[in-house]
Amino acid sequence: PAASDVVGSNKDPVSCIPWPIPPPNPALEIKYNKIFIANEWMDAVDGAVIDDINPATENVITQVANGGKADVDRAVAAASKAFHPSSKWRRMDASDRGVLINKLADLIDANKCYLAVLESLDCGKPYTHSFFMDTGVSKLLRYYAGWTDKMHGKTVPVDGDYLSYTLVQPAGVCGLILPWNVPLISLCMKIGPALCCGNTVVIKPNEQTPLTALYVASLAKEAGFPEGVFNVVPGGAEAGAAIAAHASVNKVSFTGSIAVGRKIEEASAKTNLKRLTLELSGNCPNIVFADTDLDYAVEHAHQATFMNQGQMCTAASRTFVHEDIYEEFVARSVARAKRRIVADPFQLHSEQGPQISEKQLNSILNYVKSGVEEGAKLECGGSRHGTTGYFMQPTVFSAVEDSMKIAKEEIFGPVQCILKFKTIDEVVQRANNTQYGLAAGIFTKDVSLALEMAKALESGTVWVNCYNAFAVQSPFGGFKMSGKGKEMGEEGLREFSDIKTITLKLPQLQN
């Protein structure tokens, strides 16, 4: 469901939960914290470990193996062996690949409470959000499980005495580099199409949020995936760089910042010209017209900005509001932000947990300082919340101008910037005047206007009278510097497969 369908109205957030959820157990045992290669758990080659920090308490959850280049080499070797044409995985019927992916989806469902707790411990997301959002990952896997035996080639009516046809084949060893903000969802967005197409994978979860990927690795083994098909190397920049530069990795799918995306492009260009899917940064516009239902638009704009502590590439941090309703929209948005419940992620009433790290919290605070210095009006928030954990007050700015740093750059935090507009042409130009092009929102009762605006906005996804309404069947990916390639939907399969043409000379029939 969309963020505002999970938690988000003027009611008590708990009353908005659509069905009962099991209580969390934040003191659960951490079962897996090592590197996973060829269905075996192992330490890093150099024995390095890294502290995994709970951002709500600032305490160490566990120590996780910190993989480096040597560990990536081991994982790629195992994945390459599993991709050999004579391997069990490559000779498996396509429909049987679908059976394995469905088994993995079943195991994720059976363990979703445990996974939701891991997600909340690792990245600070409220447990209620983790539980409901991560419920969708099994649906995503089942969608791709159904595709395994439906990727057809075709015959091509070429001239002459030839038979020409195409085969859809896997890309090879795929490096999947995950972000820290939505680690489990991103993992399944990548492994779904990759495994569906018959590839093998080397997964590098972010060093700050490795626990869900490692647990899913244990479930992949339990489901029966052959050795070397599913490998996980937790680690930092060294491991990511090793994947991007590895000559035996044919494909990289990365979610993260533009800066790191550039490095992956450079490494690919200098080595084997890997195929890339890059889902990068955003600074998304959300445009509210005067004819909209004001309470509805305020709530959805609030959720569009503050979902997941504002740590979303799709966050609608630039909220453009028509001048006729601007003052009232600001007043209601401020009131809603002040009602937002910032609390321990394991309290079921919590709407907002901590930021991922002290570094991220300080970055957000610096953006707030910049906004004030450049003349934006700080309506509420703007400071750290509490003294323990990396919590940030929900923050709203009005009187924001396009030239301000808070309007031009991706804040990646719970900060809503509300800008005023007058005309349609003006707001289209302003919304598009950015290097980003990931997503956008439109709120209006005028269907014709919505359709014309959706065509004009330079964004890979446009939501109308909703926001963050993802569906596994619909492709997602950005324009401009927000990335290249698509995830989810049928289009996601094309990122992990190759088309091979085969042409045979036919004998001429004799009379």
With H, G, I as helix, E, B as strand and everything else as coil, classify residue 108.
helix
CATH hierarchy code of domain 285-464: 3.40.309.10
- Residue 255 CB burial class (10 angstroms; 0-12, 13-18, ≥19): buried
Contact, 275 vs 244, CB < 8 A?
no
- Alpha-carbon distance of 67 to 64, in angstroms, equals 9
Classified by CATH at the fold level, domain 34-280+478-500 comes out as Aldehyde Dehydrogenase; Chain A, domain 1 (3.40.605)
* β-bridge partners, 338: none
Q: Is 468 left (phi over 0), alpha (psi -120 to 50) or beta?
A: left
Task: Tell me what pLDDT residue 17 has.
Answer: 53
List, by residue range, all CATH 3.40.309.10 domains of the chain. 285-464
Asked if 298 contacts 332 with a C-beta cutoff of 8 angstroms, the reply is yes
- In tens digits, what is the pLDDT along the chain, a chain of 511 residues? 344 343 333 444 444 555 578 889 999 999 999 999 999 999 999 999 999 999 999 999 999 999 999 999 999 999 999 999 999 999 999 999 999 999 999 999 999 999 999 999 999 999 999 998 767 899 999 999 999 999 999 999 999 999 999 999 999 999 999 999 999 999 999 999 999 999 999 999 999 999 999 999 999 999 999 999 999 999 999 999 999 999 999 999 999 999 999 999 999 999 999 999 999 999 999 999 999 999 999 999 999 999 999 999 999 989 999 999 999 999 999 999 999 999 999 999 999 999 999 999 999 999 999 999 999 999 999 999 999 999 999 999 999 999 999 999 999 999 999 999 999 999 999 999 999 999 999 999 999 999 999 999 999 999 999 999 999 999 999 999 999 999 999 999 999 999 999 999 999 877 7
In this predicted structure, what is the pLDDT of residue 21? 83
Query: Which one from 313, 351, 379, 458 is the annotated catalytic residue?
Result: 313
Helix (H) / strand (E) containing 501: strand 497-505
CA separation for the pair 261, 46 (Å, rounded) = 27
How far apart CA 309 and CA 12 sit, in angstroms, is 18
| Residue 88 phi, psi dihedral angles, 5° rounding | -60, -40
Q: Which residue has the tokens 């929102």?
A: 441
For the question of residue 284 being annotated catalytic, the response is no
State how beta strands 483-484 and 461-464 pair.
unpaired
- Backbone φ and ψ of 254, nearest 5°: -130, 140
Query: From CA 463, how far away is CA 273, in angstroms rounded?
Result: 34
Rounded to whole angstroms, how far apart are CA atoms 408 and 284?
Answer: 10
Catalytic residue chosen out of the listed positions 279, 351, 458, 487: 279
Task: Assess whether 313 carries a catalytic annotation.
Answer: yes
Any residues with CB less than 8 A from the CB of 310 and at least 6 apart, and which?
317, 364, 411, 412, 413, 414, 415
pLDDT value of position 261? 97
CA-CA distance, 124 to 119, in Å (whole number)? 7
Closest CA to 308 of 132, 489, 458: 132
- Give the predicted TM-score (pTM) of the model: 0.94
| pLDDT of amino acid 406 | 98
* Close Cβ partners of 182 (under 8 Å, ≥ 6 residues apart): 123, 133, 308, 312
